[in-house]
A and B are shown apart, each in its own frame.
Chain A
């Protein structure tokens, strides 16, 4: 865990400034691999909570972790770390580079960066998938839930809320029973 609120603030500022589209991959690297504030499983679970809550999910994660370590002041430091520097940077970019958007080279570069951003998010997801074999539901049921969600969102394009509510409920019930069984046996 971080030693001080300022360490927390700067850790999230560092994460934010490295994030070009795929912040989740950066958070995973920095917090789990480099700093060891969380285990892989803890990270995946906290990410799940941050993602289903309204609001930007990396900001939610910064806030949940900040709050966990240092109470509400930590929560504020986490959020500010995530957004303050990037806001100043984007305003400076808006003043200096806004016209660059119209150049073909900028668009070429953006396509490359977007393709990599998609890969970063996908890679972070692959790493999380790799840790599902220790999941209480077992790998097979997890993969069924995973595939159902993916098809509903990416293929059928159903509204998020109608996918999330029933599948979260099913996942909850199944996990609940699995934990109960683990307790009684």
Chain B
């Protein structure tokens, strides 16, 4: 290799470092490719990421993967937040990194955070560059009929995709107290968003409360 990866001052052999960097690079590259086909958001490529991390490489347990998705749903932010979490978890699982934990525990955290941001960058960068180029190209020609018609024609299709996403999430909720209360809560939230200016955090809090009280 032409360039040398940074070595940090700890008692740890070259082999371990190359394992750590190689794993981070492998994940980066895999997510980088997936980013370009993730139409409809990162969640659409989640099944493939599961296969890659859990089934093929065994870097995560199935449980850890599911927990990452669940935790990302509970946390604020776009739904791709499970990606940095997976990067973080893979780093913490890695045997190579665990060798370090005795001599330099702080280094383990730094590498785990680095691994999280590396995964995030990989999933965001390629699609963003592509989108940026195409969006600026289209915006420069926004008065042309072809471009206007493209955006206008997509509008009803995309609204339907949103409704489909809402239905998919609603169907994925485990049924404990029957479907009806869940549907009622979803419809109520939708109507409140549609018809009122009620702050959306109140709706989330209301949903959490309804769940905690065992209504849904």
A: residues with CB less than 8 A from B are 16-26, 29, 33, 44-45, 47-60, 63-64, 67-68, 72, 75, 79, 82-83, 85-87, 89-91, 93-94, 97-98, 101, 105-130, 132, 135-137, 142-143, 145-150, 153-154, 160-161, 164, 167-168, 170-176, 178-180, 183
Contact = CB atoms under 8 A, between A and B. Distances in A.
A45 B200 CA distance: 23
B185 interface: yes
- For this complex, into which size category does the number of interface residues on chain B fall? 35 or more
A168 B145 CA distance: 15
B188 A119 contact: yes
B193 A123 contact: yes
Interface in B11-50: 35-42, 44
B130 A118 contact: no
B80 A154 contact: no
Interface of B: 35-42, 44, 67-68, 70-81, 84-85, 88-89, 113, 116-117, 120, 123-124, 126-128, 130-132, 134-136, 138-139, 145-146, 148-170, 172-174, 176, 182, 185-194, 197, 200-201, 203-204, 206-212, 214-216
Given A53-B130, A60-B127, A122-B190, A111 B162 contact: no
Contact of A91 (B116, B124, B215): B116
B204 A113 contact: yes
A54 B210 CA distance: 35
A58 B77 CA distance: 10
A125 B169 CA distance: 14
Contact of B153 (A83, A113, A170): A170
B120 A161 contact: no
B31 to A, nearest CB: 11
Given A24-B162, A112-B209, A90 B72 contact: yes
Contacts of A64: 131-132, 135
Contacts of A109: 208, 211-212
For the complex of A and B, list the 3 residue pairs with the smallest distance between their C-beta atoms, beginning with the closest: A112-B211, A119-B189, A55-B127
Contacts of A106: 74
B156 A145 contact: yes
B89 A94 contact: yes
Contacts of A48: 151, 154-155, 157-158
A119 B187 contact: yes
A94 B146 CA distance: 47
Given A21-B169, A101-B71, 5 more contacts: A52-B154, A52-B158, A110-B70, A168-B154, A176-B146
29 contacts: A21-B79, A45-B152, A54-B39, A55-B35, A55-B42, A55-B123, A55-B130, A68-B139, A75-B132, A86-B81, A87-B117, A89-B77, A91-B84, A101-B67, A105-B212, A111-B173, A112-B209, A115-B186, A118-B166, A119-B188, A119-B189, A120-B190, A136-B152, A137-B156, A145-B160, A146-B159, A150-B164, A172-B150, A180-B145
